[in-house]
Amino acid sequence: MLASIRKRSAQIFDAAGNDHEQIERHIEFQTMVAELAADLVNLPLENLDENLVRALERIARFGGEQRGYLFVVDRDGRWHVAQEWHEEGLALLAETLTDDAPVWTLAQLSAGRTVWIRTLADLAPEASAERGLCRRFGIRSAVVVPIRSADSELSAAALFVSHDREADWPDDFHPLCDLAGGLLGGALARRREHVGLGHSEARLRCLLDSAMLGILTARRDGLVLDANDAALMVTGYDRRALEAGEMRWDDMTPIEYRHLTASAIDQLERVGHCPPWEQDFYRRDGSRVAALLGLAGLQDDPGTFLVFALDVTARKRAEHELTEHKRLARLMTVLSTRFIGIASDRIDDEIGEGLREIAGVVGLDRCSVWQFLHEDNSEAELTHRWDCRSAAGMVPAAPHVSIPTLALWNAAFAKHDFVLVRNGGNDLPEDSAERLYLNQRGVHSALAVPLLQGEDLTGFVTFVSRRSDEEWSQSRVALLRIAGEIIGAALQRRHTDKRRMDVQRELEERFAARTSQLESVNRELEAFSHAVSHDLRAPLRGIDGFSRILVDDHSARLPADAGKLLERIRTTCQRMDGLIDALLALSRISRSQPEREHVDLSALAATLCESLREGDPARRITFVVEPSLSAVGEPRLVRALLDNLLRNSWKFTAGHDTAQIEFGSFHEGRVRVFYVRDDGVGFDPSQAQRLFQPFQRLHAPDLFEGFGVGLATVQRIVAIHGGKVWAESGPDQGATVYFTLESGD
C-alpha cells in the first residue's frame, strides 16, 4: 500500500513540478527585467559597452538563441554592428550590411513591428534579400527588434539568431523583446546625447510609460517628483496625491529597510552606481509590498535620482510556494518511509509527529485525523490531533462529528474528493449545516482530505488555518491528499498488525490450553501405566502362581481335565502379561520426546537382520539391504521402528520354504521414502487402514503370534518424526510397508 502511494506521489510531484517550472520561469523573467533596467540606465558610460554585450547575451539565452547583435544606422543609411555576443565556437556574422539590404525587414522595423522569423517559410514573398542573407550566413530562425530614437525614427535594431535549430520561443520572450527595445534604445541615447536632458528625458518617458516597471523621480529628502502609472499602481497612490506632494519615499519605506535605501544613495553618489536590492514598502492603504529596487542618478541634478521598482510580491509568493512544495514533497517521502520501518505500536505517536511536521512546513494551526465509527460512515471520531496551542499528538475530549448532517462534505468524501473552505465558509449557504459547523469552531480556512485504506474510505484528515486569506495552491492540496493516503496506509498497517497479534495471542492461548490438556492426559496415562504395571500384574501373577502350585503339588489328585484347564489358565495369564508389556511400550513411545541425530539405517538394518538369522538359523531366507542409507532421527525409536518392520516380515514369511526380505529407498519429490518388502502371506488391501491401529490383527492368532501393536508402534514413531507410513499388499503377494522420517513441507 505504502509503495503504491509513493509511486503515485512521484507522479503528482512531477505534474506539480511542471507548474513550478513555469513559476520559476516567471521569476527569472521578472528578475531579468529589473536587472536589465538597472544595468542599462544606472551604470556610468564607460561601462555601457560591456553591459550592452551582457544584455544581448541574457536576452538571447532567455529566448534560446545562439547570437545577439546590436545594429546601428549611420547618416548614409548603412547598418553597422555596434555590439555582438555569440556562443563559443561561432565566428562573427558581419560588420556592415551594404549589399542586398533587407528592405522588407526595414519596412517592418520602421513601422515599429518586431520581425519574428521562426523558419524561412515565415518570410513574405517579397523578402528575397532576407532569404539570401539567411542562406548566406546559415540562419534558420531570427528575431529583429526595432530601436527608435527620441524623435521616433528607426535608429538601431537588435538581432537574435539561431543556426542549427528552429525557433521554440517561450511565451514571455515576446514582451521581453518589446521591453528590450526601449532599454537598449535608452542606453544608446545616453552614449549618443551629451547636451541637455531633453532627449534623455524623452527616452526615459518611454520607460515611464511601461506598465511593467515602476519608475519614480525622487529627491534625497524623500519627496517623489514624478512617477509612471506602474509605480502609482504598485504604491497605491494616484496622480492627484503625487501632484499634491503627498507621495514621499521615506514615508513608504519601513524603518527596518531605511538603512538599505541610505546605503544605496551613498554608494550612488560616491561611485555613480549601486546594485539592485530587495525590500518591502508601504502602500497608501498601509499594506506592505515586496519590490526589487534600483537607483540611477541624474547628471544635471545631483540631489535627484531615479527609482526603478519592480513588484516582486507574486515572485515572493511563488518562491514561497516552490519552497513549500519541495519541503512538503520531501516530508511525504520521509513519512512514507518512516511508517514502513517503525513498529506498529509506535504508529499513533508517529502520526502525531507527522501532523506537527506538516503543520510546520505549511504554516497551519491545527491538523486532525478523524476515523469513522460505523460502516455507514454516520459518525467520525477524533483520534489524532496537533494544535499549535497544545502539545503534539494530544487528543482532547471532543464530541463525535455526525457526518450525514454535513451533506455537501459527505458527498465529496463519498467520491474520495477533498473539501476546501475559504473565508470561513462564506461561500456556503447561510443556513447550511457546514457553515454553522465552521462558525461554531471558529474555522476560517481549512482543507479536508479523505482518509483511505486501500480503496476504502475510513475517515478524513483536516488541515486548519486561522487566516481567512490562506493560500491553498494546487500542489499543496495534491501533496496533502497524499498525506491522507499515507496516514491511512499506516493506520491500516496498525489495524492489520493488531489483528495478527490478536490471532497470535488467541492461538497461543489455545496452544497453552491444549498443552495443559495434553499434560493432564499424560498424567492420566502415567497413572494408568502405573495401575497396569502394578495393580493388574499382581493378580495375574497370583493366578499364575497358584495355578502352578496346583499343577506341581496336587496334579495327582486332580482330574485329567482339571490339569488341562489349569495349563490354559497359566497360558492366558502369561499372554495377558505380554499384552500389558506391549501396551506399556506403546504408551512410552507415544510420550517420547526424540533427540534427533544422524542414524546409519543400512548398518542398523543389517544388525537386526543378523539377529533374526541367529534366532532361527535353520530358515532359508535372504536379506537385501540397500547400502549407505541414513536419516536424522532418535536412534532408539528408529531402531524400534526397523525392528518391528523386519520382525513382521520375518513372522509372515515363516510358512515359505525360502523367503526374501528387502530394505531400500527411493525419492518422491524432495523426500526420501524408505520401505521394507517381503514375499510373505500379505493381506487384504481393503483392510490396510486397520494395520496401524493398536490390537487390530488381520490374521488368526493361532497362525501368527503377536498382540497387534507392532505396526501401531511403527505408526507412532513415524508420527513423532513428522513423517507418514502406509502399506501395500495382496493375499499371498507379499507386503511392502513405506515410511518417511520428514514432512517434506
Q: Which helix (H) or strand (E) holds 79?
A: strand 79-86
Cα-based angle 722, 723, 729 (whole degrees, multiple of 5) = 155
Give the tens place of pLDDT for each residue, 243-277.
899 999 889 999 999 988 889 888 888 887 788 88
Burial code (b: 16+ CB inside 10 Å, e: under 16) for 456-474 equals ebbbbbbbbbeeeebebbe
Cell numbers for 401: 462529528
Q: What is the pLDDT of residue 194?
A: 43
pLDDT for res 195: 35
- Give dist(CA 313, CA 455) in Å, integer: 41
For residues 371-382, average pLDDT: 83
CATH class for domain 43-208? alpha beta
- Enumerate residues 6+ apart whose C-beta is below 8 A from 485: 5, 8, 452
Look-up of cell digits 497544545: 390
Fold identical between 43-208 and 345-466?
yes
User: What gap in Å lies between CA 497 and CA 490, rounded to an integer?
Assistant: 10
For domain 593-739, give its CATH number from 3.20.20.10, 3.40.1160.10, 3.30.565.10, 3.10.20.740: 3.30.565.10
Percent of the chain past pLDDT 70, that is, above it, reads: 78
User: What type of residue sits at position 474?
Assistant: Q
Q: Does pLDDT of 191 surpass 60? A: yes
Neighbouring-strand partners of residue 277: 293
pLDDT band at 12 (very low <50, low <70, confident <90, very high): very low
> pLDDT value at position 604?
93
- Calculate mean pLDDT across residues 683-694: 71
At residue 626, the pLDDT reads: 94
Question: Is pLDDT at 397 greater than 50 in this prediction?
Answer: no
Q: What is the pTM of this model?
A: 0.48
pLDDT single digits (tens) 422-453: 877 777 777 788 888 888 777 888 899 998 88
pLDDT confidence band for 100 (50 / 70 / 90) = low
What is the predicted pLDDT for the residue at 669?
86
Q: Report CA-CA distances (Å) from 172 to 35, 317, 493.
A: 16, 19, 49
- pLDDT(374) > 60: yes
Q: Answer yes or no: is pLDDT of 542 > 70.
A: yes
Given a cut of 80, whether residue 731 has pLDDT beyond it is no
Does residue 645 contact residue 623 with C-beta atoms inside 8 Å? no
Q: pLDDT for 273-326, tens place per residue?
A: 788 888 998 999 888 888 888 888 877 777 888 888 888 887 777 777 788 888
pLDDT reported for residue 714: 86
Q: Which residues of 220-251 are buried (b: 16+ CB within 10 A; e: fewer)?
A: eeebbebbbebbbebbbbeeeebeeeebebee
Residue 174, CA distances (Å) to 59, 115, 231, 372, 494 in order: 11, 11, 23, 55, 56
pLDDT for 38-66, tens place per residue?
Answer: 666 655 666 777 888 888 888 888 888 88
Quote the distance between the C-alpha of residue 545 and its chain's center.
Answer: 86
Look up residue 133 and give its three cell numbers. Answer: 542573407
Q: Say yes or no to pLDDT of 174 above 60.
A: yes
C-alpha 623/C-alpha 643 separation (Å) is 14
Look at residue 391 in the predicted model and tell me its pLDDT.
53
3-state DSSP of 411-466: HHHHCCCCEEECHHHCCCCCCCHHHHHHHHHCCCEEEEEEEEECCEEEEEEEEEEC
CA triplet 85, 89, 91: central angle to 5 degrees? 60
Q: Return the half-sphere exposure (C-beta side, CA atoms, 13 A cut-off) of residue 699.
A: 15
Domains of the chain, by residue range, sit at: 43-208, 345-466, 593-739
Is the pLDDT confidence value at 99 over 70?
Answer: no
- Among 161-165, 393-397, 686-690, which range has the highest average pLDDT? 161-165
Looking at residue 661, what is its pLDDT? 92
Fold adopted by 345-466: Beta-Lactamase (3.30.450)
638: closest CA among 677, 663, 678, 601?
601
pLDDT at 594: 63
224: CB partners within 8 A, 6+ apart: 216, 217, 218, 242, 247, 248, 249
Q: Could you read off the pLDDT of 567-625 as tens digits, one per residue?
A: 778 777 776 776 666 666 656 665 556 678 889 999 999 999 998 888 888 888 899 99
**What span, in angstroms and rounded, lies between the C-alpha atoms of 681 and 699?**
10
Q: What is the mean pLDDT of the chain?
A: 79
Model confidence pLDDT, tens digit, residues 553-574: 777 777 877 777 777 787 777 7
